[in-house]
Structure 1
Amino acid sequence: MKIRSAVAVLAATVAMPFGLAHATDLEVTHWWTSGGEAAAVAELAKAFDATGNHWVDGAIAGSGGTARPIMISRITGGDPMGATQFNHGRQAEELVQAGMMRDLDSVAAEGKWTDVIRPKSLLDSCTLDGHIYCVPVNIHSWPWLWLSNDAFQKVGLDVPKNWDEFVADAPKLRDAGIVPLAIGGQPWQASGAFDVLLLGLGGKDLFYKVYKDKDAEAAAGPDMAKVFKAANDARTMSKGTNVQDWNQATNLVITGKAGGQIMGDWAQGEFALAGKVAGKDYSCLPGLGYDNPMIGTGGDAFYFPKLNDEAKSKAQEDLAKVLLSPETQVAFNLKKGSLPVRGDVDLAAANDCMKKGLDILSKGNVVDWTDQLLSADSQKQKEDLMSEFFANESMTPEDAQKRFADIVASAD
């Protein structure tokens, strides 16, 4: 995206007169629109409003892939919001390089962010050329398999303990009219499921060879071939899902119409909203249930466009502080299903699945996720390929792997 030329436009159009009656209103854009997500974002709004400012909600329906271009277009077009959600990593890199985002160095120093945010890679993902440009608000980990206890009980099976057992149980679920694996039609869902299979089956070393080192030879090799075979199994198991949005796929698991779903821990918010209890109504397998599971350190962060309005700029700082307060971290993440970025908060109310995640995190079993390792363009190419692979049964795993290796070879 060519955005540097828009800096002059931004500078000329964002100035606003100081002293307006609603000068401390701050529009915050995000893509949290499902029931569980809305409950979580309400906690952020409540905490910000308590500062005397007012959260003006700018929710954009659809996934991040839908929302991000709209957010970027507004900023580059001279109509910036007060704050905007991105996934921490490289999604806002060009905006920062173009000088359109304010740094948060003074707020970070005051709040001792380097001492309280963990793992360190979260803050590193918000840092460019030595300056901090975003507030990470959670650790959202992709590598989870969510299972419907009711679905397996219906067919007389024990809840599987790992991916291999799940694949073996799939035909019996299918015979009972239950979709084994729910994957919605949004491209990022198929891509995310593939990445989870890569980490779970190939391990951290292969994951980093492919996405961090951009090793095309590894991407084309026999270990990756095993991952593509598993992706082919997942494609077969997901046939008949027939929903688009991720939360609709989660609802199939909640209602026992699907056996399971590979999805990030944000799915917990939907289970909680439906009144489902972890360990009783549903089960969760971090790392697909294999030994020594890893937590991905992806997640959400808020960035702050530069504004020529003193009151709103001050409100931006107030929001940045609130997002990382211990109280907000607990209230938000318990409803979002994610893990807090602060290592000093009390999560005694965490459910069984969140406790599993916290335990993995305490052991240091973490891996940078693809939003941190790949540019937005490379990520989009991968999403498009996986979307096509899961939708088109005529594409063989071998053909898909060849195309994947080409993407890795040119990735940045």
Structure 2
Amino acid sequence: MRQDRSASAPRFARRLLALAATVTLATAAQAGDLEVLHYWTSGGEAKAASALKATMQQKGHTWKDFAVAGGGGDAAMTVLKSRVVSGNAPAAAQIKGPSIQEWAREGVLANIDDVAKAEKWDSLLPKAVSDVMKYKGNYVAVPVNVHRVNWLWANPEALKKANAKLPTTWDEFFTTAEALKKAGIIPVAHGGQAWQDFTTFESVALGVGGADFYKKAFVQLDAATLNGATMEKVLTTFKKIKDYTDKNANGRDWNLATAMVIKGEAGMQLMGDWAKGEFVAAGKVPGKDFLCAAAPGTASAYTFNIDSFAMFKVKGDTKAQKDLAAAIMSPDFQEQFSLNKGSIPVRLNMDMSKFDDCAKLSSKDFVETAKTGALVPSIAHGMAVPPAVEGAMKDVVSQFWNSDRMTAKDAMAKLASAAKTK
């Protein structure tokens, strides 16, 4: 499972779309035709996409698969932009986070409120999730699943060898890391890539500052919060983690870092729940061969990353689109897809009996944080802010991680500046 994020329409897409305003933005799709652009091209993702295709075919629709591999969705978004500008949008496309609103502002997304009301989506989804799927109060996209980002993974044998425990606070984390180091085990498996740095940083911010701080800093982009004392503590704590990574971390892919924990070469990893797929694929059993827990200090909070499909305006009968939206939110598909992908269903009333202990904990916390307001969008995975802002802040975080000269205060000033990126 690769890093699960997608790019949105580039900033210049709006200018291109304005130039194409005279072009009909509907496809030439015939009634019952359903062209779906997505980037589910490997493993369990492709298997789940095939199941969705079969469901639509059973309903009498013709599924035209438009899978675009590569770049965690970047390539797919480039293709989507060119298709929409040329007036030939697909019926549905895999888009996520604030990118949904960017496309909706262009007037090219279809209103699917009738399906949402008939299927009672408002009662099945947390408001924090449904808000992402809406534009000006109307549903224009449908959520597929939920990935929890703020996870800590650990090898129990490594902890036992170091006579250390699974940490629940950042103080405990560094105590455990020190014990692992003394036992000759790499304390933290990390891949020195910008998105991995940002994923770790996000969990530290949530654990040190809490959900309200996180929302002010990384959703509202509040300047005072970005420049405040808590942010300085977040950055200091984040940088301290680097002391417990190995010298070969730079450029390492996330799954290779996970493999280090699987083999016992490293004790812990901070990574989203797609890491679980690596453990399971290696024949490991949660609770026995590997441990999963919320990242230190974040047990009562939840950073989410959600796959979703936006529906584009098409000519003719839109029944195929509506059937697709209903199928994606159906309990059967929600269960099957997440069992294949390592995520959890986005519906709140799901039976989790077929899922493993890590997924059950994720689901419990998802439901609870939806009630408390501590269910927050992942900034590291394209759910919280526009892509330009995300990219600028990501660059600052990696610069700070890799620099011996940049102070926490320097990084704070740069983060506040990055938040203003247009």
Q: What TM-score comes out, normalization by structure 1 length?
A: 0.85
The answer to whether the 8 A contact 1:37-1:269 is kept is: no
Query: Are 1:191 and 2:198 counterparts?
Result: yes
**1:241 pairs with 236, 249, 255, which one?**
249
Letter of the 2:71 counterpart: G
SS in 2 for 1:285: strand
Deviation at 1:77, TM superposition (A): 4.5
Per-residue Cα deviation, 1:197-250 (whole angstroms, up to 9, x for no partner): 101111122112212443222212221111101110223333422454433333
**1:138 pairs with 145, 158, 167, which one?**
145
Determine the C-alpha separation between the residues in 1 that align with 2:98 and 2:241.
Answer: 29
Judged with a 3 Å threshold, the aligned counterparts in structure 2 of structure 1 residues 172 and 384 are, in CA distance, closer, same or farther, namely same
Query: Are 1:403 and 2:414 counterparts?
Result: yes
Partner of 1:375: 386
SS in 1 for 2:264: coil
Partner of 2:229: 222
Query: Are 1:127 and 2:134 counterparts?
Result: yes
SS in 2 for 1:188: helix
Query: Are 1:271 and 2:284 counterparts?
Result: no
Query: Are 1:290 and 2:300 counterparts?
Result: no
Judged with a 3 Å threshold, the aligned counterparts in structure 2 of structure 1 residues 264 and 204 are, in CA distance, closer, same or farther, namely same
Letter of the 1:407 counterpart: A
The answer to whether the 8 A contact 1:143-1:295 is kept is: yes
**1:319 pairs with 310, 324, 328, which one?**
324
Determine the C-alpha separation between the residues in 2 that align with 1:124 and 1:384.
Answer: 28
Partner of 1:389: 400
Determine the C-alpha separation between the residues in 2 that align with 1:75 and 1:237.
Answer: 47
Partner of 1:90: 98
Judged with a 3 Å threshold, the aligned counterparts in structure 2 of structure 1 residues 86 and 346 are, in CA distance, closer, same or farther, namely same
Judged with a 3 Å threshold, the aligned counterparts in structure 2 of structure 1 residues 25 and 205 are, in CA distance, closer, same or farther, namely closer
Partner of 1:206: 213
Deviation at 1:54, TM superposition (A): 3.0
Judged with a 3 Å threshold, the aligned counterparts in structure 2 of structure 1 residues 385 and 47 are, in CA distance, closer, same or farther, namely farther
Partner of 1:3: 13
Determine the C-alpha separation between the residues in 2 that align with 1:77 and 1:257.
Answer: 51
Deviation at 1:94, TM superposition (A): 2.2
Partner of 2:358: 353
State which drifts further: 314-323 or 73-82. Answer: 73-82
Judged with a 3 Å threshold, the aligned counterparts in structure 2 of structure 1 residues 14 and 186 are, in CA distance, closer, same or farther, namely farther
Judged with a 3 Å threshold, the aligned counterparts in structure 2 of structure 1 residues 215 and 319 are, in CA distance, closer, same or farther, namely same
SS in 2 for 1:72: helix
Deviation at 1:61, TM superposition (A): 1.8
State which drifts further: 326-335 or 178-187. Answer: 178-187
Deviation at 1:58, TM superposition (A): 0.6
Per-residue Cα deviation, 1:124-161 (whole angstroms, up to 9, x for no partner): 11111232110011222221111222433454544444
Determine the C-alpha separation between the residues in 1 that align with 2:145 and 2:314.
Answer: 25
Partner of 2:8: none
Deviation at 1:356, TM superposition (A): 1.5
Query: Are 1:362 and 2:374 counterparts?
Result: no
Deviation at 1:194, TM superposition (A): 0.9
Letter of the 2:259 counterpart: N
Judged with a 3 Å threshold, the aligned counterparts in structure 2 of structure 1 residues 129 and 298 are, in CA distance, closer, same or farther, namely same
Matches within 5 A, 1:255-266: 255-266=263-274
Deviation at 1:281, TM superposition (A): 1.4
The answer to whether the 8 A contact 1:3-1:98 is kept is: no
Judged with a 3 Å threshold, the aligned counterparts in structure 2 of structure 1 residues 77 and 193 are, in CA distance, closer, same or farther, namely farther
The answer to whether the 8 A contact 1:35-1:273 is kept is: no
State which drifts further: 122-131 or 252-261. Answer: 252-261
Partner of 1:299: 306
The answer to whether the 8 A contact 1:138-1:338 is kept is: yes
Letter of the 2:263 counterpart: T
Partner of 1:72: 81
Deviation at 1:41, TM superposition (A): 4.3
**2:37 pairs with 28, 37, 46, which one?**
28
SS in 2 for 1:270: helix
State which drifts further: 376-385 or 262-271. Answer: 262-271
Determine the C-alpha separation between the residues in 1 that align with 2:124 and 2:408.
Answer: 44
Deviation at 1:280, TM superposition (A): 0.9
Identity among equivalent positions (%) equals 33
Partner of 1:341: 346
Deviation at 1:332, TM superposition (A): 1.2
Determine the C-alpha separation between the residues in 1 that align with 2:137 and 2:410.
Answer: 42
**1:165 pairs with 146, 164, 172, which one?**
172
Letter of the 1:397 counterpart: A
Deviation at 1:172, TM superposition (A): 4.8
Query: Are 1:330 and 2:338 counterparts?
Result: no
Determine the C-alpha separation between the residues in 1 that align with 2:113 and 2:340.
Answer: 29
Letter of the 1:84 counterpart: A
Partner of 2:28: 16
Root-mean-square deviation (CA, aligned residues, Å) is: 3.0
Deviation at 1:26, TM superposition (A): 2.5
Deviation at 1:350, TM superposition (A): 2.0
Letter of the 1:273 counterpart: A
